[in-house]
């Protein structure tokens, strides 16, 4: 199975975020990490390769710093990487990101393309589905299980409230992968060593420029959310806090 | 002719998803702000009864998009059918709830017609005749006001709970219903869905619990959950968790609160070591009271907490258990 995993680098979960001068984006002097759902997508691809043999290719778009995500993926067992390297890619909406990816992989023949179900920075949950439509491939989202069948694959879709659904579909297909589908592996020392020799194809903005267009939507402003809730801070020593909380529970919330 | 807002409601196996009323309320609010006309659509196989249900709300018209090819749901059929509806009716704005099903097809539908979706919105603004849609970013740390820089139709999905379903105004008389035929050809639908099922025999119904003590990643290790269980027991409540805890198998899946688990609205929700990721918040923001304990003062959970304790839960929970026991013993 030849699998492409689309990965994104996002600010670390506990990174303190500050607005930049435009007020429409953040200052990028923060620590970054791989988008967690994408790590699960990569893990699933590696497991499928281990089961069925094949190749796992990882792709990302972003400035030089985003190469880290590809290096970690190669260290975990991906075979090669594609880096759409330009800081301009950060500002593209999901529609154009998907168009850039589609252009970058036009000469490849993948059986499956995985993305994480959504990103931890934007949280749109769209890029994978858009990519499927651009490629003319079937897709399924929020996948918790994947098995090869005679006619293609059988996937387990997660629905709300604890419901699930199996879906049979042909290949090639795009799947967006849910967190918790598997347990993430750590890169081994050997893996990290071997990663140094694995190819990373750089794709400059110019190569995909003709495929992308203006963004179809725009972040007008970014801001610290206005609080609508009145929050009371409970302070003091742990013993004092415990007493105050119980007092609230009894007298204000009336649950004790 | 004023522009039209089209709300596409959601149904499954002949029952309307109640979040659809929130979408109608959203549409009514935007219609009031802009002066645009509000219409609704329901798609599926055999939807006339559902269309009547929707027509009881204050909308100008309801489209019943009926086809056996729309039952069961597949993204190919839904995107194909709605593409035809939109081509015919040409709405300016298309609203849907941000459900797992909508996420599965609306980006495909928009892309097929060269348009875009602003998803998981929590509100809107109408400033100087321009519509902006507000959404959370960076897992709730920041908010963004987003505009469309493209042609209509514009697609927007609203987060569960962004609007109140009980505020969907009823109409003074039933809205007219227009049956819409769509053509979904052979070979269009490429996926074969099987029966929808529930995986775990749900041992606990968290929606019935008056008090919930919920743990997140801050609990650090599986053995620490015992302490949270003791607090839940002392309070006479149930233990619950955010997704990562259940993914790790530290608590069974039927203890999960969030978009993939249960949505709860207890009298008291005690969040221990939970940061407040959006997927979790949508499952508990309806709680009557929220107490949050987290050592990170910037954790988004504090946006919605009634009582905030910025501190180490391992220092706070043991004395809290003692105080609760004392209070219950009547001292």
Min Cα distance B174 → chain A (Å) is 31
Q: Is A184 on the interface with B (CB under 8 A)?
A: no
What is the rounded average pLDDT of the residues B3-22?
96
pLDDT, residue B322, reads 97
Instruction: Copy the structure tokens of residue A139.
Output: 């897709």
Q: Do A180 and B275 touch (CB under 8 A)?
A: no
Do B84 and B225 belong to one domain?
Answer: no
Residue pair B139/B216 in contact (Cβ under 8 Å)? The answer is: no
Residue with tokens 């796992």: A56
Residue B139 forms part of a structural domain: yes
Alpha-carbon span A173 to A139, nearest angstrom = 5
Best CA proximity match to B291, nearest among B277, B276, B272: B272
Residue B196 forms part of a structural domain: no
Q: Do A158 and B138 touch (CB under 8 A)?
A: no
Instruction: Copy the structure tokens of residue A52.
Output: 């069925």
State the greatest distance between any 2 C-alpha atoms of chain A, in Å, as a whole number.
Answer: 68
B305-321 pLDDT, tens digit per residue, is 999 999 999 999 999 99
Residue pair B239/B229 in contact (Cβ under 8 Å)? The answer is: yes
Do B173 and B226 belong to one domain?
Answer: no
Do B300 and B228 belong to one domain?
Answer: yes
Q: Do A224 and B267 touch (CB under 8 A)?
A: no
Residue B220 forms part of a structural domain: yes
Give B132's contacts in chain A (Cβ within 8 Å): 220
Pairing verdict, β B130-137 and B4-8: unpaired
Alpha-carbon span A57 to A84, nearest angstrom = 13
Q: Do B138 and A17 touch (CB under 8 A)?
A: yes
Q: Report mean pLDDT in 10-residue bins for chain A, 256 residues.
A: 98 94 96 98 98 98 98 98 97 97 97 97 97 98 98 96 95 97 96 97 97 97 90 96 96 92
Do B210 and B176 belong to one domain?
Answer: no
How far is the CA of B20 from the CAs of B15, B40, B73, B177, B206, in angstroms? Answer: 11, 10, 16, 17, 23
**DSSP element (H, E) containing B244:** helix B243-247
Alpha-carbon span B292 to B89, nearest angstrom = 47
Residue with tokens 């953040």: A26
Residue B143 forms part of a structural domain: yes
Pick B192's closest partner by Cβ from A129, A130, A167: A167
Residue B21 forms part of a structural domain: yes
Residue B189 forms part of a structural domain: no
B217-247 pLDDT, tens digit per residue, is 999 999 999 999 999 999 999 999 999 999 9
Burial profile B142-158: b = 16 or more Cβ within 10 angstroms, e = fewer:
bbbbbbbebeebbbbbb
Residue B151 forms part of a structural domain: yes
ipTM value, please give it.
Answer: 0.95
On the question of pLDDT at B48 being above 80, the answer is yes
Residue with tokens 């919930």: B212
Interface of B with A in 260-319 (CB under 8 A): 260-263, 267-268, 275, 278, 288-289, 291, 296, 298, 302-311, 315-316, 318-319
Give A253's contacts in chain B (Cβ within 8 Å): 267-268, 288-289
SS3 of residue B29 by DSSP: helix
What is the rounded average pLDDT of the residues B265-288?
96
pLDDT band at B301 (very low <50, low <70, confident <90, very high): very high
Count Cα neighbours of B130 within 13 Å in the Cβ-side half-sphere.
12
Q: Do A130 and B108 touch (CB under 8 A)?
A: yes
Do B11 and B147 belong to one domain?
Answer: yes
pLDDT band at B1 (very low <50, low <70, confident <90, very high): confident
Torsion angles phi and psi, residue B48, rounded to 5: -65, -40
Do B29 and B153 belong to one domain?
Answer: yes
Do B242 and B143 belong to one domain?
Answer: no
Do B143 and B229 belong to one domain?
Answer: no
pLDDT band at B264 (very low <50, low <70, confident <90, very high): very high
Q: How many domains does chain B have?
A: 2
Query: Domain holding B98: CATH number?
Result: 3.40.50.620
Q: Give the bridge partners for B15, in sequence order.
A: B12
Do B144 and B210 belong to one domain?
Answer: no
Q: Residue B248 is part of which domain span?
A: 206-328
pLDDT, residue B203, reads 76
Best CA proximity match to A45, nearest among A67, A69, A76: A76
What is the rounded average pLDDT of the residues B85-103?
98
What is the rounded average pLDDT of the residues B186-200?
94
Pick B308's closest partner by Cβ from A170, A234, A238: A234
Q: Do B142 and A142 touch (CB under 8 A)?
A: no
Instruction: Copy the structure tokens of residue A32.
Output: 């970054």
Alpha-carbon span B253 to B202, nearest angstrom = 9
Pick B268's closest partner by Cβ from A161, A225, A249: A249
First to last CA, chain A: 58
Do B220 and B133 belong to one domain?
Answer: no
Alpha-carbon span A90 to A202, nearest angstrom = 16
Fold of A2-211: Rossmann fold (3.40.50)
On the question of pLDDT at B330 being above 90, the answer is no
State the greatest distance between any 2 C-alpha atoms of chain B, in Å, as a whole number.
Answer: 73
Do B157 and B286 belong to one domain?
Answer: no
Q: What is the pTM of this model?
A: 0.94
Give A179's contacts in chain B (Cβ within 8 Å): 243-244, 247
pLDDT, residue B331, reads 58
Give B140's contacts in chain A (Cβ within 8 Å): 225
Min Cα distance B173 → chain A (Å) is 34
Instruction: Give residues with Cβ within 8 angstroms of B86, minimum separation 6.
Output: B6, B94, B109, B113, B153
Residue with tokens 């009514």: B28
pLDDT band at B98 (very low <50, low <70, confident <90, very high): very high
Query: Domain holding B295: CATH number?
Result: 3.40.50.1220
Pick A17's closest partner by Cβ from B103, B141, B254: B141
3-class secondary structure per residue, chain A: CEEEEECCEEECCCCCCCECCCCCCECCCCCEEECHHHHHHHHHHHHHHHHHCCEEEEEEEECHHHHHHHHHHHHHCCCEEEEEECHHHHHCCHHHHHHHHHHHCCCCCCCEEEEECCCCCCCCCCHHHHHHHHHCCCEEEEEEEEEEECCEEEEEEECHHHEEEEEEECCCEEEEECCCCCCCCCCCHHHHHHHCCCCEEEECHHHHHHHCCCCCEEEEEEECCCCCCCCEECCCCHHHHHHHHHHHHHHCCCCC
Q: Is A9 on the interface with B (CB under 8 A)?
A: no
Residue B63 forms part of a structural domain: yes
Alpha-carbon span A198 to B177, nearest angstrom = 61
């Amino acid at each position: 199975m030849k699998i492409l995993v689309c990965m994104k680098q996002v600010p670390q979960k506990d990174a303190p975020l500050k607005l930049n001068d435009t007020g429409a984006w953040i200052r990028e002097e923060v620590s970054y990490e791989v988008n967690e759902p994408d790590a699960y997508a990569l893990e699933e691809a590696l497991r499928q390769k281990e089961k069925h043999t094949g190749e796992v290719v990882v792709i990302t778009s972003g400035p030089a710093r985003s190469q880290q995500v590809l290096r970690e993926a190669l260290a975990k067992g991906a075979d090669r990487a594609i880096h759409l390297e330009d800081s301009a890619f950060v500002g593209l909406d999901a529609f154009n990101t998907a168009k850039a990816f589609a252009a970058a992989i036009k000469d490849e023949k993948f059986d499956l393309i995985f993305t994480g179900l959504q990103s931890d920075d934007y949280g749109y949950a769209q890029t994978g589905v858009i990519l499927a439509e651009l490629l003319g491939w079937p897709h399924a989202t929020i996948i918790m299980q994947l098995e090869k069948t005679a006619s293609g694959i059988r996937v387990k879709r997660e629905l709300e409230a604890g419901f699930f659904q199996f879906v049979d579909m042909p290949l090639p297909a795009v799947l967006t992968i849910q967190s918790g589908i598997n347990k993430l592996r750590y890169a081994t020392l050997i893996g990290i060593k071997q990663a140094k020799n694995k190819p990373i194809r750089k794709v400059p903005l110019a190569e995909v420029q003709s495929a992308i267009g203006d963004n179809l939507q725009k972040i007008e402003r970014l801001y610290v959310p206005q609080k609508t809730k009145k929050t009371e801070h409970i302070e003091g020593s742990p013993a004092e806090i415990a007493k105050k909380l119980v007092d609230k529970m009894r007298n204000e919330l009336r649950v004790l | 002719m004023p522009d039209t807002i089209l709300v596409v409601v959601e149904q499954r196996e002949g029952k309307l998803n109640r979040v659809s009323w929130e979408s109608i309320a959203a549409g009514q609010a935007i219609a009031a702000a802009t002066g645009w006309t509000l219409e609704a659509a329901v798609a599926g196989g055999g939807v006339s009864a559902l269309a009547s249900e929707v027509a009881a709300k204050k909308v100008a018209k309801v489209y019943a998009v009926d086809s056996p090819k729309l039952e069961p749901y597949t993204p190919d059929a839904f995107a194909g059918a709605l593409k035809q509806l939109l081509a015919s009716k040409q709405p300016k704005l298309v609203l849907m709830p941000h459900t797992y099903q909508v996420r599965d097809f609306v980006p495909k539908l928009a892309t097929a017609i060269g348009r875009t979706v602003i998803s998981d919105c929590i509100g809107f603004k109408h400033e100087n005749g321009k519509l902006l849609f507000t959404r959370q970013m960076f897992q709730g740390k920041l908010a963004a006001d987003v505009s469309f820089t493209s042609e209509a139709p514009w697609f927007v999905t609203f987060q569960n709970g962004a609007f109140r379903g009980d505020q969907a105004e009823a109409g003074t008389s039933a809205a007219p219903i227009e049956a819409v035929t769509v053509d979904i050809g052979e070979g269009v639908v490429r996926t074969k869905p099987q029966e929808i099922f529930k995986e775990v025999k749900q041992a606990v119904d968290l929606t019935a619990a008056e008090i919930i003590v919920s743990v997140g990643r801050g609990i650090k290790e599986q053995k620490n959950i015992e302490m949270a269980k003791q607090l839940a027991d002392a309070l006479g409540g149930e233990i619950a968790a955010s997704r990562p805890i259940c993914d790790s198998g530290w608590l069974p899946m039927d203890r999960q609160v969030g978009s993939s688990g249960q949505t709860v609205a207890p009298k008291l929700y005690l969040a221990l070591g939970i940061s407040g990721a959006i997927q979790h918040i949508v499952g508990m923001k309806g709680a009557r009271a929220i107490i949050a304990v987290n050592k990170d003062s910037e954790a988004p959970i504090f946006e919605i907490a009634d009582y905030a304790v910025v501190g180490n839960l391992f220092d706070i929970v043991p004395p809290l258990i003692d105080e609760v026991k004392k209070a219950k013993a009547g001292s």
